[in-house]
Amino acid sequence: MNTKTLILFDVDGTLTESRKVIKQNMVDTLKKLKTIDNIDIGIVGGSNLKKQKEQLTEEHLKLFKYVFSENGLVAFKNDELFHKMSIVKHVGDENLKKLINTSLRYMSTLDIPVKRGTFVEFRNGMVNLCPVGRSCTQEERDEFFEFDNKNKVREKMVEYLSEELKDLGLSFSIGGQISIDVFPKGWDKTYCLQFVSDDYDRILFFGDRTIKGGNDYEIFNHELTYGYAVNSPEVTIKLLQEKFGL
C-alpha cells in the first residue's frame, strides 16, 4: 500500500528568497513533485494571503492543495476558504492595545541602522512587529538582517516582550528577515495540522527558521511531522531531488 504524504513548505527562505518572487527552477521542481502518486503539497506561512500571492503568484499558488495563511488561521483547500480565526475575538481589544503600546515603546528606544514606516501590522490571526519598519527597501531590509544577526535585536525584543506581557498568553516568534509574529499560544504553524493529520500517513515539513524562537520551530519538531531544515530555496530543491528522485 502506498503511503499518502503531505509536504508542507514555509515560504520565505524555503520556496523563495525572503520577500522575493518564486523562481522558475522551484516551480519546475514543485510541478514534478505533484506528478508523484499519493503526494499532495501545501504551504504554511505567517504572511497573509496577499503577500503569499505576491511571492508565489496567483498562478503558482494553485499548485498547492493547501494554502495556510497566517499559520493556518486563514486556510484554503483547493483554492476554497474553509477556516478563518480572528485574534481580536480571542485576545480582546484591551490586551491588543497593551501589546501594541508596549511594543512601540520598546521599538522607540532601539538604535538600529534605519527606521522607516509600519512598525506594527495588524493581521487577521496575528500582529506583526517590525523594528526597521515594513516600508523599508530591499537594501535596507538586507542591512537590518545583517545587523540583527550580529546584535540579536529581535531575539532581545522577544525576550523582553515575553517577560513583560507574560500574562497575556501570547507567543513571540522571529520570522523572515525583519519582523516578529505575535499570536496566542498554540497559534503557531502547528495550528494547521489539525486540518490534515487524519488524512495523511505522513506529513513532511520544509522550513528555514527551525531553531528555538524561529517561526518554524514548533512544526519542525512536532510529533506529527518529519522536519527538514533548509537555508535557501536551492537547498530545498536539492533535498527534494534527493528524496524523491526528481
Residues annotated as part of the active site = 10, 12
Lowest-confidence region among 176-180, 218-222, 234-238: 176-180
**Which one-letter DSSP state was computed for residue 112?**
-
Confidence of residue 41 (pLDDT cuts 50, 70, 90): very high
**Residues 12-37, mean pLDDT to the nearest whole number:** 95
Q: What is the mean pLDDT of the chain?
A: 95
Q: Record the cell numbers describing residue 62, joined without a space.
A: 494553485
Confidence of residue 176 (pLDDT cuts 50, 70, 90): confident
The per-residue pLDDT for 219 is 97
Each residue's pLDDT tens digit, 95-154: 999 999 999 999 999 999 999 999 999 998 899 999 999 999 999 999 999 999 999 999
Within 10 angstroms of residue 212's Cβ, the number of other Cβ atoms is 8
* Domain 5-85+188-244 CATH (choose: 3.10.450.50, 3.40.50.300, 3.20.20.10, 3.40.50.1000): 3.40.50.1000
**Residues 201-210, mean pLDDT to the nearest whole number:** 96
CATH number of 87-184: 3.30.1240.20
Confidence of residue 210 (pLDDT cuts 50, 70, 90): very high
In sequence order, the 6+-apart residues with CB closer than 8 A to the CB of 77 are: 65, 66, 195
CA angle 100, 151, 144 (to 5 degrees): 70
Each residue's pLDDT tens digit, 186-196: 999 999 999 99
Confidence of residue 38 (pLDDT cuts 50, 70, 90): very high
The per-residue pLDDT for 21 is 96
The per-residue pLDDT for 2 is 75
Please give the order of strands across the beta sheet that includes 179-184: 120-122, 127-129, 179-184, 170-175
DSSP E strands, the chain: 5-9, 39-44, 66-69, 74-77, 80-84, 120-122, 127-129, 170-175, 179-184, 202-207, 225-229
The per-residue pLDDT for 32 is 97
Q: Record the cell numbers describing residue 239, joined without a space.
A: 533535498
C-alpha distances out from residue 201 to 23, 39, 50, 110, 211, Å: 30, 11, 31, 47, 26
The residue extents of the domains of the chain are: 5-85+188-244, 87-184
Numbers of helices and strands, H then E, in the chain: 8, 11
Each residue's pLDDT tens digit, 51-86: 999 999 999 999 999 999 999 999 999 999 999 999
